[in-house]
Amino acid sequence: ATGQITVHETLPSRVLVGAGARRAVPEETERLGSRRVLLIASGSARAVADDLAGALGPRLAGRFDRPVVHTPVAVTDEALELLREVDADSVVALGGGSAIGLAKALSVRTGLPQVAVPTTYAGSEVTPVLGETKDGVKTTRRDPVIAPGTVVYDPELTLGMPPGLTLTSALNALAHAVEALWAPNATAASDALATEAADGILTTLPAVLADPARLSGRERLQQSAWLAGLCLAQTRMGLHHQLAHALGGTFELPHAELHALLLPHVLAFNLPAAPKAAARLARITGGDPVTVVADLARGHTGPTTLEALGVPRDGLRAVAERVAAQPYPNPRTPDAAAVTRLLENAW
């Protein structure tokens, strides 16, 4: 008999890292042979997008400024029409996971190359995953061609993140790392990425929240989020991401806030059955990881419970049953009664 064989795949990508790296975007598009750039930007990145548009000069073919969370197909169709109208030959996304998701959706439909310039810690820029919504149903696909070929991490773009987004988006990244530690297809490589990501996030986040405009803290947090995104790209998601998908899809909840409030509850549920993750997180936190993450999550001044997010209590059981019927791989079997209790606690 042979043992279980695990496959570790890395995607070819070119990653630029450093303060001011956004100024290299025009050169990066030239490197791709692009003469007609479609620029997609989150509303929050308007000023940076204006600068980039100026730097691209005549190579800017068009701009689309209204990416929407969870990549609704209707918005993608609208952007696709613009892309064809302006005859774009590359797509640059500047913003959070919503802008990057839209660029992925356009690229997978047209084969055009992408440059992703993230301004949050969601990590989508390094994953081959695309979630799209149509008629209120979110479907997720995974294909190596979906991952942007060029990623530009400029920590200056994160200096203005409000405290709430900083906190919840960083906990979203931490969730990618934590689930990689207990994933059934974890390898030495994914463990290394996940451990460094979790260490970077847990040790840097309090300092960044205390001094949000300090570049060195922002830089380490962003690079930790990069590693966390690589974890998401390389390992299978477990109960945490399944709950986020199920609740987020059913009740249309904000992505990062939902991740942030769920994480301590999933840690409490899973860590007793995940000794490697428990040991590494205990070493990083120097104490009880559940308490440390719960304290961080509670520090959010926005919604910190499912109730506050507007989830009806009587809807929890049905979500738990759906999750239990077709669970993502998870160290502890998520039976419906136990998951209901977890959700009740988060409520």
96 binds ligand NAD (CB under 6 A): yes
Find the shortest distance in angstroms from Cβ 251 to ligand NAD.
Answer: 14
Give whichever of 44 and 340 is closer to ligand NAD, judged by the CB atom: 44
304 binds ligand NAD (CB under 6 A): no
Find the shortest distance in angstroms from Cβ 288 to ligand NAD.
Answer: 27
Q: Which stretches of the chain are assigned E, i.e. beta strand?
A: 14-17, 37-41, 60-64, 90-95, 114-118, 129-134, 137-142, 150-153
197 binds ligand NAD (CB under 6 A): no
Helices (H) and strands (E) in the chain, counts: 13, 8
Find the shortest distance in angstroms from Cβ 284 to ligand NAD.
Answer: 22
Q: Which of 107, 114, 119, 195 binds ligand NAD (CB under 6 A)?
A: 119
Q: Give residues with Cβ within 8 angstroms of 108, minimum separation 6.
A: 130, 143, 145, 146
Number of Cβ atoms within 10 Å of the Cβ of 267: 25
Total binding residues toward ligand NAD, as defined by CB under 6 A: 30
Per the rule left: phi > 0, alpha: psi between -120 and 50, beta: everything else, 252 is left
Q: Which of 124, 195, 223, 270 binds ligand NAD (CB under 6 A)?
A: 124
Q: Which of 169, 235, 242, 304 binds ligand NAD (CB under 6 A)?
A: 169
Give whichever of 197 and 290 is closer to ligand NAD, judged by the CB atom: 197
Find the shortest distance in angstroms from Cβ 280 to ligand NAD.
Answer: 22
In sign, the C-alpha dihedral spanning 160, 165, 170, 172 is negative
Q: Which of 59, 69, 53 is closest to 101 using CA atoms?
A: 69
Find the shortest distance in angstroms from Cβ 318 to ligand NAD.
Answer: 22
At position 276, the amino acid (one-letter code) is K
At position 302, the amino acid (one-letter code) is G
Q: Count how many Cα atoms sit within 13 Å of the Cα of residue 237 in the half-sphere of its side chain.
A: 22
Separation of alpha carbons 117 and 95, rounded Å: 7
**Interaction mask 76-95, ligand NAD, x per CB under 6 A:** -------------------x
Q: Which of residues 237-296 bind ligand NAD (CB under 6 A)?
A: 255-256
Find the shortest distance in angstroms from Cβ 305 to ligand NAD.
Answer: 19
Q: Give residues with Cβ within 8 angstroms of 253, minimum separation 6.
A: 247, 309, 310, 311
Q: Which of residues 99-118 bind ligand NAD (CB under 6 A)?
A: 99, 101
Q: Which parts of this chain interact with ligand NAD (CB under 6 A)? A: 42-44, 69-71, 95-99, 101, 119-120, 122-124, 127, 129-131, 157-158, 160-161, 165, 169, 232, 255-256
